[in-house]
Structure 1
Amino acid sequence: MADNPRITGLGGVFYVAADPEATRAWYRDKLGIDGEYGPQLAWSDEPKPNPYSLISHFKNDEYIQPGKGGFMINLRVNDLDGFVELLKSRDVDVLDSVDEGYGKFAWVLDPNGVKIELWEQVAEDAP
């Protein structure tokens, strides 16, 4: 047993999709992430110092709209501007983007209507 048992990061996001194989193909072909059981991300690929994940709670689904299901997936990217251009070249509709100072954000919908927030961590420390 570890000296300090604790949660160390986000293990995954799981949800029901009408066509799981088509959804996995969209994540592979449009977002460039793939894995044996679905899109897989390795923390070792993160180049920024002090990377972190966030579990955030909302009183209503206003921030998640136009996404469906009452949740959203947040994915880290190392170059948001470049990635947004890549998505556009792959015919992905980018809903919006913003620079909040501590991070840059953009949003897309996956084929099931799930909202995906793309996030480039700018600040080294959590807000």
Structure 2
Amino acid sequence: MNDETGPRVTGLGGVFYVAADPEATRAWYRDMLGVDGEYGPQLAWSEEPKANPYSLISHFKDEQYIKPGKGGFMINLRVNDLNGFCKKLKTKGVKVLDTADEGYGKFAWILDPNGIKIELWEQVAEELP
């Protein structure tokens, strides 16, 4: 249960990691995923069409879920049409590693040019878990 009064955390501010070529990485995110910004891909909650959108920080005991990604972490990006977005990625030569439908959401996984695993997530359920 969170405290609704006083100073508190209100959301995910970003994901930061070292890349051998930051400019090429930013270009890949812009060209392949369609997200851009002055300092890297920037996402605005105001553009989220689903009711009750949320972000999650999840912890794992081992790296199995992160594999074949590198670095011990994964980035989860929300999408509004997972099937359509995966088709778009494939036309750009991005390999979709796998997909899953968990009922509350649909998922697909890709790797960025640095080997960082990206989980694409279409929120289906409007209720918070």
TM interval, shorter chain, is over 0.9
Q: Which runs of 5+ in 1 are unaligned?
A: none
Aligned-partner Cα distance in 1 for 2:127–2:6: 22
Aligned-partner Cα distance in 2 for 1:110–1:21: 13
Aligned-partner Cα distance in 2 for 1:108–1:126: 25
Moved over 3 A (4+): none
Corresponding residue SS for 2:27: helix
Scaled by the length of structure 2, the TM-score of the pair is 0.95
Q: Shift in Å at residue 126 of structure 1?
A: 2.3
Corresponding residue SS for 1:47: coil
Aligned residue in 2 for 1:13 = 15
Corresponding residue SS for 2:108: strand
Q: What aligned pairs does 1:36-115 form with structure 2 within 5 A after superposition?
A: 36-115=38-117
1:28 aligns with 2:36: no
Aligned-partner Cα distance in 2 for 1:38–1:5: 28
Among all aligned residue pairs of Structure 1 and Structure 2, give the percentage whose two residues are the same amino acid: 80
The superposition leaves residues 9-64 of structure 1 with CA deviations (integer Å, 9 ceiling, x where unpaired) of: 10000000000000000000000000000000000000000000000000000000
Aligned-partner Cα distance in 2 for 1:126–1:117: 19
Give the aligned length: 125
